[in-house]
Amino acid sequence: MKVTFFTARYSHSGVPLAQIRLAKLFQKKGYEIDFIFGYVPDDMNMPILKNMNVINFNKPRVYKLFRKIFKYLVKNKPDVIISAEDHLNAVVLLCARVSGSKAKISVSSRVTPFDTYSNKIFTKRWFLKYFMQFVESRANALVCVSKDMVKQYKTIFKNSRHQCIYNVVYDNSSQSRMSENVDESWLVNKEIPVIISAGRLAPEKGLLDLILAIKELSKSREVRLLMLGEGPMRKEIEALIKKENLNEVIKLIGFQENPLKFYSKSDVFILSSYVEGLPNVLIEAMMCGCTPVSTNCPTGPEEVLQKEKFGYLVPVHDPIEMAKGIGRALDEPIPVEILAEGVKNFTEDAVFKKYQEALNI
C-alpha cells in the first residue's frame, strides 16, 4: 500500500519535521512512502529519507502546485494521502476530486483557524473558508494537532468533523539522541542552572519577553539561558541582550540538528510564545526530564502540561510572571517519572492507532 505525504515547504522544524516523523512511522509499519515537498528553499538541501521516494515540486506558492499534484495523483495513484496545513490541504483535496483519486485522505491543520480564515466578506481568508467547505467532504479525516484547536475549528465551520491526532514526538531514535555528548561549556561544566529555549527567532515566539524575564530573574539568582534557533529577529535579540548587559547570561547557539541532547542536560525549558499549534518542544523537554515552563498561549501548552501537572504555565506578554515561573521550576522541578507520563500520548504506537481508526486502514 502506498502512502503519499505532502508538505508545502521544507524547513528544519515545525510541520515538515512532524510530517517526516509520521512518514517514518508509516514506513516502519510496512507502507511504501512517497514524500512530496512543494518547495525546498535554495539555501537548504533536500533531506535524505532512506527508502522513501522524495520529490521536490519546486513551487514556492501553494496555488501553483495544483498542476503538479494533479499529474502526480493521475500517474501514481496512492492508496493514502496525508497532507498538512490548510492552504495545501485545500489544493490537495481539489486535485483528488478532479483527478478521480480513490485515495483515503487525511488533512491536518497546524495553526489556529483564526489566523487562516475570516468572516470578512471578499477577503482572501473568507474565500479560503468557503473553498475549504466546498472540498473538505473529500477528506476521510480532518485532523487538528490539539484538542483546543478542534474546539476553535468547531466555531469556524458548522458541523465540523475535525478530530485531534497528536504529532509523533517520542520515537525509537529519541533515547540515543538524548544521550549524545554536547560541547557547550555551560552544560559540560555546569556550575550555574541552565535554562533553555528552542524555536525560530521570530516575533510570535515572544523572545524579547524572555530576555526581560531573564534580566528580572538574574536580580535574585544566578542563571544562564541558551537559545537554540535561527530567524529574522536575531539582530534585534542580540541588541536587547547587549542593551541589558546580559552577554554573560544569555547565549544564542543557532540551529541545532539534535536539540534533545541540550534539553537532557538543562534544568528548565522555557516556551515564551504568543501563539502555537501544538508545541512539540514542550513534549521533547518532558521526555528529556527537563521541567517545562510555558506561556499559556493558544493553543496547546495548557493541554500538553495538563494544567501544570507536567510543568508551569505563565501569562502571555508578562516577563515578571515568566521570571517567577522559571524560578518556581528551578526550586520545584517536576520529577522525571511524572514527566514521562505526559509523553505517552505522543508515542508512535498511540499516534498510529489514531490514524488507523481515522482512515480505517
Cell numbers found for residue 302: 495548557
* Same domain, residue pair 119 and 230: no
Q: What is the CATH number of the domain that holds 256?
A: 3.40.50.2000
Q: Which pLDDT band, with edges at 50, 70 and 90, does 20 fall under? A: very high
| Choice among 168-177, 226-235, 255-264 with the minimum mean pLDDT | 168-177
Please indicate, yes or no, whether residues 192 and 161 belong to a single structural domain of this protein.
no
Question: Does the bond joining 123 to the residue before it have cis omega, within 30 degrees of 0?
Answer: no
Is residue 134 domain-shared with residue 196, that is, in the same domain?
A: no
Number of domains observed in the structure of the chain: 2
Distance between CA atoms of residues 217 and 288, nearest Å: 24
Amino acid 310 reads: F
Each residue's pLDDT tens digit, 36-83: 999 999 988 888 999 999 999 999 999 999 999 999 999 999 999 999
Confidence of residue 230 (pLDDT cuts 50, 70, 90): very high
The fraction of the chain above a pLDDT of 70, given in percent, is 100
Residues 160 and 207 in one domain: no
Q: What is the largest CA-CA distance in the chain?
A: 65
The residue-averaged pLDDT of 178-183 equals 95
Q: Domain check: are 238 and 274 in the same one?
A: yes
Digit-coded pLDDT (tens) for 94-144: 999 999 999 999 999 998 898 899 888 999 999 999 999 999 999 999 999
Q: What mean pLDDT is reported for the chain?
A: 95
Q: C-alpha cell of 297?
A: 498561549
**131 and 199 fall within a common domain:** no
Checking if the pLDDT of 13 tops 80, the result is: no
C-alpha pair distances (Å), 236 with each of 54, 274, 276, 319: 37, 18, 22, 17
* Whether residue 242 has pLDDT greater than 80: yes
pLDDT of residue 14: 83
Q: Are residues 186 and 82 in the same domain?
A: no
Within the chain, strands assigned E span 2-9, 32-39, 53-56, 80-84, 104-109, 141-144, 163-164, 194-198, 224-228, 250-254, 268-271, 291-295, 312-314
Cβ(228)–Cβ(207) under 8 Å?
Answer: no
238/264 same-domain check = yes
Q: What is the mean pLDDT of residues 232-258?
A: 97
pLDDT at 201 over 80: yes
Considering the chain, what percentage of its residues have pLDDT values greater than 90? Answer: 89
Q: Mark whether 215 and 318 lie in a shared domain.
A: yes
Give the pLDDT of residue 126: 93
Same domain, 245 and 327: yes
pLDDT tens for 286-334 read 999 999 999 999 999 999 999 899 999 999 999 999 999 999 999 999 9
Give the residue numbers spanning the domain of 242.
174-342
